[in-house]
Amino acid sequence: MTTCPIGRGDLTGYKVKGCRCRPCKDAASAQQRRWTRQVGYHGHLTITGDDADKVRDRIAALQGLGWTLAQIAELAGCAPSTLSNVLNGRKNPHRDTARGIDHAWDVLTGRNHGMTRNPLAGRGNQHTRRRAA
Q: What is the pLDDT of residues 58-77, one digit of tens each?
A: 999 999 999 999 999 999 99
Assign 92 a pLDDT band (cuts: 50, 70, 90).
confident
Burial of 125 (0-12, 13-18, 19+ CB in 10 A): exposed
Write down the pLDDT at residue 118: 53
| Three-state secondary structure readout of 75-125 | HHCCCHHHHHHHHCCCCCCEHHHHHHHHHHHHHHCCCCCCCCCCCCCCCCC
**Chain-centre distance for alpha carbon 127:** 37
Query: For 2-17, how does the pLDDT look when each residue is reduced to its tens digit (9 = 90+)?
Result: 577 777 778 788 888 8
Dihedral (Cα; 44, 46, 47, 49), 10-degree rounding: -90
Do 52 and 73 fall within a single domain?
yes
Domain that includes residue 88, residue range:
45-133
| 3-class DSSP state of 28 | helix
Clarify whether residues 18 and 32 are in a common domain.
yes
pLDDT of 41 > 90? The answer is: no
Residue 5 inside a domain? The answer is: no
Cα-Cα-Cα-Cα dihedral sign, residues 71, 76, 78, 84: negative
- pTM for the model: 0.55
Q: What is the CATH number of the domain that holds 76?
A: 1.10.260.40
Statement: residue 113 has pLDDT above 70:
no
Is position 1 within any domain? no
Residue 46, pLDDT > 80, answer: no
Query: Same domain for 86 and 111?
Result: yes
Number of folded domains that form the chain = 2
Max mean pLDDT range (44-53, 78-87, 105-114)? 78-87
Q: Specify whether 28 is located in the same domain as 61.
A: no
